């Protein structure tokens, strides 16, 4: 059974089916077989978060996930969030507006992780943001703008949930 197994999983909303060897990593299947290169390979040992994808909505590391292990599950990669510049998510827009992207290598991982954070905790404090993204490394920005972008996306979402002058939530 070291020969390929056929797996089927939902990738960015669509079912895909392919044969994978047991020792194939999810990251390689995404990047090399399905040509979704938004997911980044960086450290390969769990320490940088560059390869983060959402598995059933929760951030996990595709560099330490066997492809066979996602059979029947749902995977979201950065390509699944928007189809183009016109329908960027609030987080994606906030990253651009706050200058949270320099080389951009870490950005897909940060955005997916932050998306999971905001779904769990729509109004996080700075400390909660830093805590949640501590497994995502950025060698360019120094994190300040990234944290600010996540805060901005959170407060914009709060504004759109509560139209009108919402006390507290609309600052920043």
Partner 1 sequence: MNRFNTHIIPVEFEYHEPRTIREALELLARWGEDAKILAGGTDLLVQMKMRRVEPKCVINIKRIPELDYIREGPAGVRIGAATRLRRLERSGAIKRLFPALHRAIGWMASVQVRNMATIGGNLCNASPAADTAPPLMVYGARVKLASVSGERTLPLEDFFTGPGQTAMRPGEMLTEIWIPRQPEGTGSAFIKVARTAMDLAKVNVAVALTLKGWSAFNVRIALGSVAPTPMRAREAEAALEGRPPTEGLLRRVGDIASEEIRPITDVRSTAEYRREVTKVIVADALRKALGMVRVGGGVG
Binding site for ligand FAD (CB under 6 A): 46-47
> Is there binding between residue 45 and partner 1 (CB under 8 A)?
yes
> For residues 53 and 65, what is the distance between their CA atoms, to the nearest angstrom?
10
Least gap, CB of 46 to ligand FAD (angstroms): 3
Record the tokens describing residue 142, joined without a space: 């120094």
Minimal distance, residue 47 CB to ligand FAD, in Å: 5
- The single residue among 58, 122, 126, 170 that binds partner 1, judged by CB under 8 A, is 58
* Cβ neighbours around 98 below 10 Å, total: 19
Name residues contacting ligand FES, limited to 12-51 (CB under 6 A): 41-44, 46-51
d(CA 42, CA 10): 25
- Altogether, the residues listed in the chain come to a count of 172
In 3D space, the residue among 18, 58, 11 whose CA is nearest the CA of residue 38 turns out to be: 11
Minimum distance from residue 107 beta carbon to ligand FES (Å): 6
Question: Contact positions toward ligand FES, by CB under 6 A?
Answer: 41-44, 46-51, 61, 63, 101-106, 138-141
């Amino acid at each position: 059974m070291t020969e390929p197994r056929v797996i089927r999983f939902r990738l960015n909303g669509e079912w895909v089916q392919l044969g994978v060897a047991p020792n194939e990593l999810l990251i390689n299947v995404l990047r090399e077989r399905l040509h979704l290169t938004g997911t980044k390979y960086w450290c390969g040992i769990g320490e940088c978060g560059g390869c983060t994808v959402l598995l059933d909505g929760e951030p996990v590391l595709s560099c330490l996930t066997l492809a066979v292990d996602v059979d029947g599950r749902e995977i979201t990669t950065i390509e699944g969030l928007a189809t183009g510049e016109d329908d960027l998510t609030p987080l994606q827009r906030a990253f651009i507006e706050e200058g949270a992207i320099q080389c951009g290598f870490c950005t897909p991982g940060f955005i997916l992780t932050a998306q999971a954070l905001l779904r769990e905790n729509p109004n996080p404090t700075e400390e909660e943001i830093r805590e949640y993204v501590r497994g995502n490394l950025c060698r360019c920005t120094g994190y300040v703008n990234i944290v600010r972008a996540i805060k901005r996306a959170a407060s914009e979402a709060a504004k759109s949930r509560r139209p009108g002058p919402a006390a507290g939530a609309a600052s920043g």
